[in-house]
A = this chain, B = another copy of it.
Amino acid sequence: MAIKQTKRAAVKKNRANSGVKVALLGFGTVGGAVARVLAASRFQGVELTHIFNRNVDRKRSSAAAKAVPASVVWTDSIDVILRSDVDVVVELMGGLNPVEGWLRKALTAGTSVVTANKQLIAYRGTGLAKLAEKHNVHLLHGAAVAGGVPVIPGMLQGLCGDQVTRLSGIVNGTCNYILSRMEAGADYSTVLADAQQLGYAEVDPAADVDGYDARAKLCILSRIAMHAELDPDAVAMQTISAIEAIDFSYAKELNCTIRQVSRAELDGKLVHARVAPMLVPLASPMAWSHGTQNMVVVSGRFGGDVVFSGHGAGGEPTAVAVVSDLLAVAQGCKSVELPLRRREVTGDFFAPHYLRFVVDDKPGIVSAISGALSKVGANIDSLLQRRGYPKHRLPFVVTTEPCLSSTIERALASVARMDCMLEKPLCLQMLEVEDKAE
């Protein structure tokens, strides 16, 4: 593995100067929190000088603006920012267009970038990093995954010496909030509505509940922890919207709960990757993660499992990551870099599966289902059918021994066509707890 080297591994001294000037792009929840943290901590050498936002006058008179120094230039023109003498832009707007173009201009002009933009970093991060290096500036994105949880610096600086073979995480606070509330008995639509009201979910919640947000984060984590460059569009996703209360009941009987899990596993030159609701054992750290918390579990060949957990969303936790990155830029810090490899990705996993059917009950259903499974070589591990449900709308569960997801899906394709099926069968991976022996 080629790595950069220095003469005598000397620490480079910083040259004193008048500090770094900072522009915020976006003054929403996180932007306001960044201003608050900077005002409260008064780090010398980090000076907020510009704020960009559309409808900037409304922002300027908001309560959050009270934390902003009077000397700051507020503008709704990105050109004012790009033509200014700021040293760092903090990008908090999200999305690819037009942000990517702006940041490329900034980097090319010798301005460092600190960003929370997971889609940008997932899809374009490697190219932008090369551009930053070419122009001798920083591109930092600790805020893009698990806001207040130092996963990115922790993995970069602390686990670069290991060979990380797999990682899994709960990285979308919206899904975690929804599923935790459903675990406690609430139903999906009610909780989703609450989440939208609390600002945990957008009017169009698809980015969260269908997995787009988590997928971008998974690609970023794979890049950092496993040095594996994935095409985000190739990473399989499964929505959480098909989960029902009955699934939590059955999961509990299996000593599990349900979380939206993002997982990736190195397998030679291939990476298995998937974002989906999965059953997690109650004994595993992921079962403990609830509300809007985020958690990342990284497994290394030599170090075993490492767990990071904390508040992954919200203005102030994300602002902590942003400000920490700003300090790194201000002090000319540098992290370990190891070469990346582009990897092919598959959504197929060898795992036990949880299958939930809702049928109009009649004789022969279990026989037909187990026939379809054994036909593809999948073994049934357990069958759960609780009392108290109407026969014309009967939910029951089959769990399988470990087998390939693709195999199960093949079997389910024929089962789904059976007359008695009232809903599309639900198929969830079951996460197994494995760790280095102690």
Q: Give the residues from 32 to 48 in chain A that come closer than 8 angstroms, CB to CB, to chain B.
A: 33, 36-37, 40-46
A303 contacts B316, C-beta separation under 8 Å? yes
Q: Please give the count of copies of this chain that the complex contains.
A: 2
Q: Which residues of B lie under 8 Å from residue A334 when comparing CB positions?
A: 11-12, 331-334
| A76 contacts B by Cβ under 8 Å | no
A161 contacts B302, C-beta separation under 8 Å? no
Select which of B9, B45, B310 is within 8 A of A20 by beta carbon.
Answer: B9
A161 contacts B316, C-beta separation under 8 Å? no
- The stretch among A63-71, A151-159, A378-386 that forms the contact with chain B is A151-159
CB closest chain-B residue, reference A290: B438
A320 contacts B156, C-beta separation under 8 Å? no
CB closest chain-B residue, reference A328: B336
Q: Which residues of B lie under 8 Å from residue A7 when comparing CB positions?
A: 15, 17
B163 contacts A159, C-beta separation under 8 Å? no
Q: Give the residues from 149 to 176 in chain A that come closer than 8 angstroms, CB to CB, to chain B.
A: 149-163
A44-B3 in contact given A158-B154, A310-B303 (Cβ < 8 Å)? yes
Once the chains are docked, how many angstroms separate the CA of A161 from the CA of B147?
Answer: 12
CB closest chain-B residue, reference A164: B320
B6 contacts A163, C-beta separation under 8 Å? no
Number of residues from A at the complex interface, CB < 8 A: 100
A5-B14 in contact given A319-B161, A320-B303, A326-B161 (Cβ < 8 Å)? yes
Once the chains are docked, how many angstroms separate the CA of A29 from the CA of B324?
Answer: 35
Q: Which residues of B lie under 8 Å from residue A33 when comparing CB positions?
A: 302
A293 contacts B5, C-beta separation under 8 Å? no
| A184 contacts B by Cβ under 8 Å | no
B311 contacts A10, C-beta separation under 8 Å? no
A309 contacts B311, C-beta separation under 8 Å? no
Select which of B18, B41, B137, B150 is within 8 A of A306 by beta carbon.
Answer: B150
B309 contacts A306, C-beta separation under 8 Å? yes
| A305 contacts B by Cβ under 8 Å | yes
CB distance from A229 to the nearest CB of B (A): 19
Q: Give the residues from 212 to 264 in chain A that come closer than 8 angstroms, CB to CB, to chain B.
A: none
Most buried by B among A7, A132, A325, A333: A333
Select which of B5, B88, B311 is within 8 A of A438 by beta carbon.
Answer: B311
Contact with B along A309-349 (1 / 0, CB 8 A): 11100101101111111111111111111100000000000
Once the chains are docked, how many angstroms separate the CA of A311 from the CA of B329?
Answer: 31
B317 contacts A302, C-beta separation under 8 Å? yes
CB distance from A305 to the nearest CB of B (A): 6
B15 contacts A324, C-beta separation under 8 Å? no
A308 contacts B311, C-beta separation under 8 Å? no
A161-B311 in contact given A12-B332, A44-B1 (Cβ < 8 Å)? no
A5-B317 in contact given A306-B150, A436-B311, A438-B293 (Cβ < 8 Å)? no
Contact with B along A132-154 (1 / 0, CB 8 A): 11001110001000011111111
Select which of B4, B301, B311 is within 8 A of A304 by beta carbon.
Answer: B311
11 chain-A/chain-B pairs, Cβ below 8 angstroms: A5-B45, A8-B20, A9-B138, A11-B137, A12-B12, A40-B163, A162-B324, A303-B316, A306-B308, A307-B310, A333-B335
What 3 A-B pairs come out closest when comparing CB atoms? A150-B158, A161-B323, A148-B303
Taking A161-B319, A303-B317 as given, write out 5 further A-B residue pairs in contact, using a Cβ cutoff of 8 Å, ordered by the A residue number: A13-B136, A41-B161, A157-B157, A158-B324, A304-B317
